[in-house]
Structure 1
Amino acid sequence: MSLSKPANITLRYADWSHDHHFICALRRRVLMTAQDGSTLLDSDMQDAHALHVLAIASMIASTDDVNSTTQPVATARLLTSGQIERMLVLPNWRGQGIGTGLLTALLRAAQERRYPTTWLLAPLSAIDFYSRWGFQLDGTIIDTGNGYYQRMVLMDQTAMLPMDITWRSLGVTAGRMSLPKQSLLGLTIATLATQTRHTLEILTPDFDPALYDTDTVFDAVQQLALTRRGRLPVRILLFDKETLVYRGQRIIELARRLSSDIQIRAVPDELTEQCDRMVLADSVGYCLTRSHNPRLTLVDFNSAAEVRRLRRHFDQLWESSSVHQALRRLYL
């Protein structure tokens, strides 16, 4: 039975006692040297104490969407010393951002564990890549006998956060994350919007221009509206109507010109207490900030079940809403 491309790639932290056979099998299959330049062994004494991460690909049969299989395709580990190593991805799965996912997962874990230093030994060809993550050169070049490597240290633990968002792929990368910094909300919304291909729903009190009146979001909304014309691909619900009307944002003008493709409604005052801030991308991705906990934003790029639940609530509000009197001129 032939298999199509992966329907889903999930990253999870591994339990060495239960998952060591997966990790060792990956190490045996990858005919390469470890990140530190030493010969890649199946296991060593540090494995039992290290934190491991696995990337699992879910494959759907091209001839039968019901049957599927899963396959570990990548792994890496974080030592108690703060060193990240043994990062490897099966050759056929490279170039899809999986290695970036491994790195972000371990950097996040190192931050949560409050390791004073996070470091790695980088091949000379990868120095520029790790530099973009905030790693800095530390010490001299090391000759391991299998090549030259440079010790690099992550000086700012928060430098990796934007990469943790932008590497994610809508409908592919599963796993809920919470935004540790609200300053990343705009980047998250822009990343979701640019990957949306079918429907985009937004529930917001004030249509904050810092989040929505950016070139990236505007271009994504305009492209979606034009490519999905006549199918109402963009729906926006507001529960602080007066703020929006006088801001003159570009999406408002776009909604006036493409009123069959972008619609803006106002939530009735009696229902505003039920409103959380959310962005729903296609049928799989969401960004959610609860009204009772505005400092916590949850994000997932591949959670169809949660999006279905959130969309039911959005649809209920949509059916109860109408074009606010102050917004009617958009459609005249």
Structure 2
Amino acid sequence: MSRPDAVFTVNAVAFAQAVADVRAVRDVVFVQEQGVPVDIERDALDPLSRHVLARDAQGRAIGTGRLTPDRRIGRMAVLPEWRNRRVGEALLKALLREARELGWTEVTLHAQVPAIAFYARQGFLPYAERFVEAGLEHQSMRLVLGAVNPVLRRDAGLAALLGVIEGARRQLLVYSRDLDPGLLDTAEAMAALRRFGVGGGEVRVLLHDPDAPRRALAPLIGLSQRLPSAFAFRAIEEPVDRDYASAYVANDRGGWYFRALGHRFDGETRLDDEARARQLRAHFAPVWERARPCTEYRALGL
């Protein structure tokens, strides 16, 4: 971090010693900002949980989170003036380290709906139905630690896609039948791809059927025309390649989302598996070389 006022540390703390700091942050975020009653915000799980605390350069508490005995991350809170400075991400990673040290193979959480994308970037996937807790809409999410995470429905597929996009360093590879309606045309995916492209990333897309996205006015084609240096499309024409029924997204930092049947959302994902990501990149490269550039996308006026 380049600015002194953006320097912070995150450490595990004993609740008994840090209770005042933990509650000071949570009172601001949950009680004052979100209107959660104090008797709901403070519960019997606090003394039984593992807590992490973020402090600024002067030692003031600026963020906190906890890991409960039922293997759930919760009470994630960052003071308003410290948001969008990666404090929440650092807190979440610290809690995941705690979970791994405990030998846990899975953790869950109840994400407030606006925070779903934040947790997706760390590999969490939605499950079950949304529900209201303390007057706020929530979504249950799950992360399998150190193993493949099953993707069972569309919203989990979207979370997996966002995790792979956001985790990419310089290159993202997309192998798709028809630009995956319901995934690659969502506002969330488009925003993530735009950020990646504007930031200097390269997206290569292999398609079985380039005509279907064009007829559907797929928004990704329009985005590629505005950012031509970031996006490239090629159409798969070789019979040996067209027999491949799967679809996937892979990045250059070990993240991937694979679907055995490319027309379905269900599949598997993991964000820290370089071996599998390398296999997918190795499959993609020769097909890309054999495929035809989609020059019709450059000429399309949307």
Q: Which residue number corresponds to residue 176 of structure 2?
A: 204
Check 1:75–1:184 CA distance in 2 against 1; reply closer, same or farther (3 A cut). Answer: closer
Q: Which residue number corresponds to residue 195 of structure 1?
A: 167
CA-CA distance at 1:233 after TM superposition: 0.8
Q: Which residue number corresponds to residue 261 of structure 1?
A: 230
1:315 to 2:285 alignment: yes
Letter in 2 for 1:258: L
Equivalent position SS for 2:205: strand
Distance (Å, rounded) in 2 between the aligned partners of 1:132 and 1:240 = 37
- Please point out which of 138, 142, 145 is paired with 1:164: 142
CA-CA distance at 1:174 after TM superposition: 4.0
Equivalent position SS for 1:211: coil
Unaligned runs of 5+ in 1: 1-28, 41-73, 78-83, 109-128, 134-156
Distance (Å, rounded) in 1 between the aligned partners of 2:204 and 2:176 = 11
Q: Which residue number corresponds to residue 247 of structure 1?
A: 216
Please say if residues 286 and 301 of structure 1, whose CA atoms lie closer than 8 Å, have aligned partners that are also in contact. Answer: yes
Letter in 2 for 1:267: I
Q: Which residue number corresponds to residue 25 of structure 1?
A: none
- Please point out which of 261, 272, 281 is paired with 1:291: 261
Q: Which residue number corresponds to residue 304 of structure 1?
A: 274
1:273 to 2:243 alignment: yes
Distance (Å, rounded) in 1 between the aligned partners of 2:235 and 2:150 = 28
Check 1:329–1:294 CA distance in 2 against 1; reply closer, same or farther (3 A cut). Answer: same
Please say if residues 162 and 187 of structure 1, whose CA atoms lie closer than 8 Å, have aligned partners that are also in contact. Answer: no
Check 1:87–1:32 CA distance in 2 against 1; reply closer, same or farther (3 A cut). Answer: farther
CA-CA distance at 1:217 after TM superposition: 1.6
* Cα root mean square deviation, aligned: 4.2
Matches within 5 A, 1:1-332: 31-32=14-15, 35=45, 37=47, 84=70, 95-99=91-95, 102=99, 106=106, 158-159=128-129, 163-164=141-142, 174-228=146-200, 233-270=202-239, 271-291=241-261, 294=264, 296-324=266-294, 326-327=296-297, 329-330=299-300
Letter in 1 for 2:142: D
CA-CA distance at 1:280 after TM superposition: 0.8
Letter in 2 for 1:314: F
Cα deviation code 1:268-290 (max 9, x no counterpart): 15121124210112231000001
With 312-321 and 322-331 compared, the bigger mean Cα shift is at 322-331
Distance (Å, rounded) in 2 between the aligned partners of 1:315 and 1:211 = 23
CA-CA distance at 1:300 after TM superposition: 0.4
Q: Which residue number corresponds to residue 82 of structure 2?
A: none
Q: Which residue number corresponds to residue 120 of structure 1?
A: none
Q: Which residue number corresponds to residue 54 of structure 2?
A: none
Please say if residues 177 and 262 of structure 2, whose CA atoms lie closer than 8 Å, have aligned partners that are also in contact. Answer: no
Distance (Å, rounded) in 1 between the aligned partners of 2:219 and 2:225 = 10
What is the total number of aligned residue pairs between the two structures? 209
CA-CA distance at 1:260 after TM superposition: 2.7
Equivalent position SS for 2:152: coil
CA-CA distance at 1:197 after TM superposition: 3.1
TM-score when normalising by structure 1? 0.51
Letter in 2 for 1:209: P
Check 1:269–1:30 CA distance in 2 against 1; reply closer, same or farther (3 A cut). Answer: same
Letter in 1 for 2:169: R
Check 1:162–1:205 CA distance in 2 against 1; reply closer, same or farther (3 A cut). Answer: farther
TM-score when normalising by structure 2? 0.55
Distance (Å, rounded) in 2 between the aligned partners of 1:39 and 1:263 = 48
Unaligned runs of 5+ in 2: 1-11, 17-43, 51-65, 75-88, 114-126, 131-138
Sequence identity percentage: 19
Structure exhibiting the larger radius of gyration computed from Cα positions: 1
Check 1:254–1:36 CA distance in 2 against 1; reply closer, same or farther (3 A cut). Answer: closer
Please say if residues 239 and 269 of structure 1, whose CA atoms lie closer than 8 Å, have aligned partners that are also in contact. Answer: no
CA-CA distance at 1:245 after TM superposition: 1.5
Distance (Å, rounded) in 1 between the aligned partners of 2:165 and 2:273 = 16
Distance (Å, rounded) in 2 between the aligned partners of 1:131 and 1:222 = 25
Please say if residues 235 and 292 of structure 2, whose CA atoms lie closer than 8 Å, have aligned partners that are also in contact. Answer: yes
CA-CA distance at 1:251 after TM superposition: 1.8
Please say if residues 255 and 330 of structure 1, whose CA atoms lie closer than 8 Å, have aligned partners that are also in contact. Answer: no
Q: Which residue number corresponds to residue 12 of structure 1?
A: none
Distance (Å, rounded) in 2 between the aligned partners of 1:159 and 1:217 = 21
Please say if residues 283 and 308 of structure 1, whose CA atoms lie closer than 8 Å, have aligned partners that are also in contact. Answer: no
